[in-house]
Structure 1
Amino acid sequence: MDKANKIPPRCAQSTPKCLSRPGVTVLTDVCEHQIVSASSKHHLVPKVVEKLMQSWSTKDCYDHISPVSIPSHRAVVDIIEQARRILFPGYFTSAKLHAANLEYYIGNETAELYDKLAEQITMAIRHDCRRHGQPCTNCEVRANELSYQFIEQLPGIASILAQDIRATLEGDPAVNGPDEVIFSYPGLRATTVYRMAHELHRLGVPIIPRIMTEWAHGETGIDINPGATIGPGLFIDHGTGVVIGETTVIGTNVRLYQGVTLGALSLPRDAGEKMKHKKRHPTIEDNVIIYSNTTILGGDTVIGAGSVIGGNIWLTESVPPGTKVLLKRPELIYHHSHVDA
């Protein structure tokens, strides 16, 4: 074939454009770049930006336009993961740990955790002060102190988590040892994050505790507010859909199944301020079992020690210790269809 008659595989702006699909090749005098440029809506983008700027300037929408940095969501998640490596050494790291290097490893991880946490707490305090117009509180000095106070609690958190693991081993016949619980059980993962977040909440650290527990909520489907008070030996089996509200109090060795809600009664529209510091969620005493899809509501509701609450129960009143609450068996209706052979 004559070179002059060959269809060029590619085209420049100054040559005819070849548009092809399997089995068909078509020449056009317009370059693809010109077609794409003509269809661009880039010139309309400034109008959208102008509307966005208007919404922020009138405060109809929310923004964080400030020289003060807000805590980093990614950094908070990194803190969670680093703390888990400390609390469960050898489980969540590629490093090979043995007696000779364990102290060095834990020391290095803990020192890094302290620095990372102090940085994020500084941002959280500074952001909180600016948002609420508070006077200077020496945020860096305070953050260093709070970070260290959290680090001091790590041995206690590790001890409580060990009790949570033992409760899981005792309560779940399907489990094949503690490694399986630590590696794969969403209940323990959510509880671990909650126990860290609760300590930060107790220390008065702004925003970071809630970032932590809401991340765990997204990862596991288990929603535990960092303000809840939960004793050791908590076992959340399966876990999906469990909700534990801010003012909930849970005793020791309590077992919850999937879909359990420990929530508040119906609240008024302005409850955000009126009910903020009032107990709105139930108290669950020691050694209670609550089965799946049960809802228990109200700050005055107390489930007495040793009680068993069956599945699909709705409770808004207290239950004495040692009580079994069961739902009456529903009437089942069966319809048989006759199918000819």
Structure 2
Amino acid sequence: MKTLEEELISCKTNNQRIFEQRTNLPGVINTIIENLEDDTCFAHIGDEPIHFSTSVQEMIDKFREILFPGYFSREKLDGANLKYSIGQTVSQLHDILAEQVTHVLRHDCLRYGQACIECENKGYGTALKVIEEIPGLRRCLAQDVIAAYEGDPAAKSHDEVIFSYPGLYAITVYRIANILHKLKIPQLPRIMSEHAHSITGIDIHPGATIGSRFVIDHGTGIVIGETSVIGNNVRVYQNVTIGALSLPPGAGEKLRDAKRHPTIEDNVIIYSGATILGGETIIGSGSVIGGNVWLTQSIPSDTKVFIETPKLIYRYQDEDK
């Protein structure tokens, strides 16, 4: 056991070592600053800042309070406060959304030297357009909820689907982001979708086209690419990829606006682990894609595609002796 004097000496020695290590920081900092001038790397210095971390979450929360009133509100809603509470939430959402849209428009304008589009005026105008879509959004999401409940015996109520299903959360964010994407708002729709992706494990590009009564059962590991087209009454299980074929180096610019992802027609079921790739791939209406199927070609309507049952090997404990 160290004496008090030995402990003091040890502490002083450690403090001296830490101080000596910290004296190296200025040199390291200078090296990093010099490295910032390397044009082969990326930096975002002197450009319009975009603050997304908390405001996007707050914006999505406000949308959910309005799209599903009473479910995610902080207070009980009834006839006495409904108009005031919803009105306040809509007003707050409008201002948050307008600010976010303004930021991304101004960011791209200044960073890429684009012509002036009156960012703030367009930001507030866009926010109003999106909020005007809320009644239609509510009707569309109601059909998603009903479809999830009707197709899942584990769901005990519509409320359970709304409160707890990650698939519905991801679909809700997608449908909002899709409106912004159609209005050609940069960055924000993708950041919203990736926020939902980080929470649910479900990655839906805001550019995808998805019909009504869309159900994601269980979720996690799902990828739906930008140019995917999905019809009505489609059900997708976990670990499904609706994606693009592997592209050669440099194909990004050449194929950026091309149809790269499949088309899934109405009333299709896609089971867990299935992978469907390619812009020319069409899954005909009423078809069923089995688990772990890999598809890069079209199939006609009312087709079932399954992998042949693998051969199982049973080895019993007595046989190992």
- Partner SS state of residue 242, structure 2: strand
Alignment match, 1:331: 311
The AA in structure 2 aligned to 1:197 is A
- Measured after TM superposition, the shift of residue 242 of structure 1 is 0.7
How far, CA to CA, are the matches of 2:39 and 2:253 in structure 1? 21
| Residue number in structure 2 paired with 1:36 | 15
Q: Deviations over 1:281-322 (max 9, x none)?
A: 000011110101000000011111111111110111111111
CA contact (8 A) 1:259 1:294 kept: yes
- Matches of 1:327 and 1:115, distance apart in 2: 52
Match of 1:295 among 275, 288, 313: 275
Tell me which residue corresponds to 1:189: 169
> Which of 162, 167, 190 is the matching residue for 1:210?
190
How far the C-alpha of 1:139 sits from its partner, in A, is 0.6
What residue identity is the alignment partner of 1:76?
Answer: V
Check whether the contact 2:262–2:278 (CA below 8 A) recurs between aligned residues: yes
- TM-score (normalizing by structure 1): 0.89
1:269 deviates by: 1.2
User: Corresponding residue for 1:167?
Assistant: 147
Counterpart residue number, 2:5: 27
Bigger radius of gyration: 1
2:142 and 2:157 mapped to 1: Cα distance? Answer: 13
What do the CA deviations read for 1:191-242 (whole angstroms, capped 9, x no partner)?
Answer: 1111111111111111011110101111001010010000110110011111
| Residue of structure 2 equivalent to 1:241 | 221
Q: Structure 1: how far apart are the matches of 2:34 and 2:291? A: 51
Give per-residue Cα distances to partners, 1:93-120, cap 9 Å, x unaligned: 2211112211111111011111111111
Cα deviations across residues 110-146 of structure 1 (Å, max 9, x unaligned)?
A: 1111111111111100111122211211111111111
Following superposition, the deviation at residue 72 of structure 1 comes to: 2.4
2:259 aligned with 1:279: yes
Is contact 1:71–1:208 with CA below 8 Å preserved after alignment? no
Change (3 A) 1:320 1:339: closer
Percent identity between the aligned chains?
Answer: 52
Give unpaired runs (5+ residues) of structure 2: none
Q: Is the 8 A contact 1:85 1:92 kept in 2?
A: yes
- Report if aligned partners of 1:73, 1:211 keep a CA contact under 8 Å in 2: no
Whether the 8 Å contact between 1:253 and 1:286 is mirrored in structure 2 is yes
Q: Is the 8 A contact 2:47 2:110 kept in 1?
A: no
User: 2:3 & 2:141 partners in 1: Cα distance?
Assistant: 68
Residue 272 of structure 2 contacts residue 292 of structure 2 at CA under 8 Å; is this kept in 1? Answer: yes
For 1:27, the aligned partner's letter is: E
The match for 2:72 among 83, 92, 100 is: 92
Structure 1 segment 8-19 matched on structure 2, within 5 A: none
- Any conservation in 1 of the 2:48–2:111 contact (CA below 8 Å)? no
- Pick which of 243-252 and 61-70 moved more: 61-70
Q: Which amino acid aligns with 2:241?
A: T
Structure 2 counterpart of 1:228: 208
Secondary structure (helix, strand or coil) at the match of 2:36 reads helix
Q: How many residues align?
A: 319
Contact 1:295 1:313 in 2 (8 A): yes
Counterpart CA distance in 2 for 1:35 and 1:313 is 60
Match 1:306 to one of 273, 277, 286: 286
TM-score relative to the length of structure 2: 0.95
Amino acid in the other structure paired with 2:235: R
2:126 corresponding residue in structure 1: 146
CA spacing shift, 1:36–1:173, aligned 2, 3 Å: same
Helix, strand or coil: the match of 2:317? coil
Distance 1:31 1:323, change over 3 A: closer
Q: CA deviation at 1:262?
A: 0.2
Query: In the aligned structure 1, how far is the partner of 2:12 from the partner of 2:180?
Result: 56
